[in-house]
């Protein structure tokens, strides 16, 4: 799989010559391939931090090529993204609200110190949240 052109993301220049004077000195130049080498299309949701399968015409669709050779920077970035995606699978320990945090939330309307109905209400809210997040 041979690139048909080269792209400099720093200034947006494209050239069939990898050593083109259009490219930023010491900048990273990325290879561009034909769609014949494309094996699929993907998108990335920045809000959910999640990759998903897309169609060629979708807004922001990114082509996926078979066996591309990555530069060391791109490879490190890809590994970081994959680690970030998989790190969300780990179970975190539940941490409830302290009396001080409850006082900040309820302000002058709650019990001082936090007790009785206020503490019971927050305990029930935390129990429901724990149940929903399991």
What does the pLDDT profile of the chain (134 residues) look like in tens digits?
677 777 887 777 778 888 888 887 777 788 876 666 677 788 888 788 777 888 888 887 777 766 656 666 666 666 666 666 555 556 667 788 888 888 888 877 765 667 777 778 888 888 888 887 77
Neighbours of 77 (CB within 10 A): 12
Per-residue pLDDT at 38 = 73
pLDDT at 42: 82
Question: Which candidate, 27, 32, 29, places its Cα nearest to that of 4?
Answer: 32
Q: How far apart are CA 99 and CA 97, in angstroms?
A: 7
Is the CB of residue 98 less than 8 Å from the CB of residue 122? no
Q: What is the pTM of this model?
A: 0.31
Do residues 24 and 11 make contact, with C-beta atoms less than 8 angstroms apart? yes
pLDDT value at residue 1: 61
């Amino acid at each position: 799989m041979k690139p048909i052109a080269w792209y400099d993301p720093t200034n947006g220049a494209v050239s069939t010559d990898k050593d083109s004077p259009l490219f930023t000195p010491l900048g990273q130049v990325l290879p561009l391939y034909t769609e014949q080498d494309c094996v699929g299309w993907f998108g990335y949701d920045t809000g959910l931090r999640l990759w998903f399968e897309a169609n060629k015409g979708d807004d922001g669709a990114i082509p996926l090529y078979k066996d591309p050779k990555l530069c060391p920077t791109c490879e490190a970035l890809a590994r970081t993204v994959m680690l970030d995606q998989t790190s969300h699978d780990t179970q975190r320990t539940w941490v409830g609200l302290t009396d001080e945090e409850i006082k900040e939330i309820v302000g002058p309307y709650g019990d001082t110190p936090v007790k009785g109905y206020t503490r019971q209400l927050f305990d029930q809210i935390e129990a429901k949240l724990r149940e929903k997040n399991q």
